Structure 1
Amino acid sequence: MEFSFLDSFINAAKLSFKLILVITLLMIFYEFFENSKLYIKLQSFLERPLGKVGFTPNSSITMVVGLVLGIAYGAGILVRNAMSGKMSSKEVLLSSLFLSVCHAVFEDTLLFVAIGGNGVIILGTRIFLAVAVALIITRYIKL
């Protein structure tokens, strides 16, 4: 079967529509989630472990979104929180660096496990490196 330019364009448009739909639904969900009691509980639960690395409760949700859903979704929440003034420049930098090292931990780890990788080593190394980078930035670079 031969594909034409029109077939490629139609497939690209379908994919773009699906991505727009998913991202829009996630952002709508986040708007409702941000105003819920569960959001506050999750922030307080994450405050202690992430606070030791240098993150505040406002940046903790960005971390969760980025870790679970990936860097694109995490960046969307990060940009939104930064523009609304909920995160300082230091938090934006820490979150960006952390997510660049350790994002989409479930998806990426499962992909590497599917081709024969050791999931525990992959996941452990990524989390260790992300925490190490955040600690180094927090302790040795003044912002």
Structure 2
Amino acid sequence: MNAKKILVINGPNLNLLGLRQPEVYGSTTLAELEEHCRVHGATMGFEVDCRQSNHEGTIIDWLHETRGTSHGIILNAGAYSHTSVAIMDAIASVERPVIEVHLSNIHAREEFRHTSFVSKVAKGMICGLGTTGYMLAIDALVDMLEHEK
């Protein structure tokens, strides 16, 4: 694994970005967000691979793949953040740094959204900053990767 790579995974319903509840999630589409991530990562010498799935097992498979393909992960697991012990276990098993991202402030929303299984194993979490949170997550992840020993 020579090239420096980051995997950005978006979970359920994020394929509807820009259409679904724009007052909560913004008007940027998923395609636009992915392009911003790729361009931002490239400015720091990182290839950014963006993926989205509504299926928990697919997200777990992608997490497992990172052991040989990516240096770090940015994950917006959507509602799976609050329900999936399986995704939490997959993150713990891949030995790659993970930054959790949420477009909305999950702590200012319904009570069930206040707990995240992903947070228990992520290096950090950014929430409530819309798509800017992804750029901040890339910055933080690159900084971690460049300063690891």
Q: In terms of Rg, which structure is larger?
A: 1
Larger fraction in strand: 2
Normalised TM-score (structure 1): 0.34
Q: Which has the higher helix share?
A: 1
Q: Which structure has the higher relative contact order (CA within 8 Å, separation 6+)? A: 2
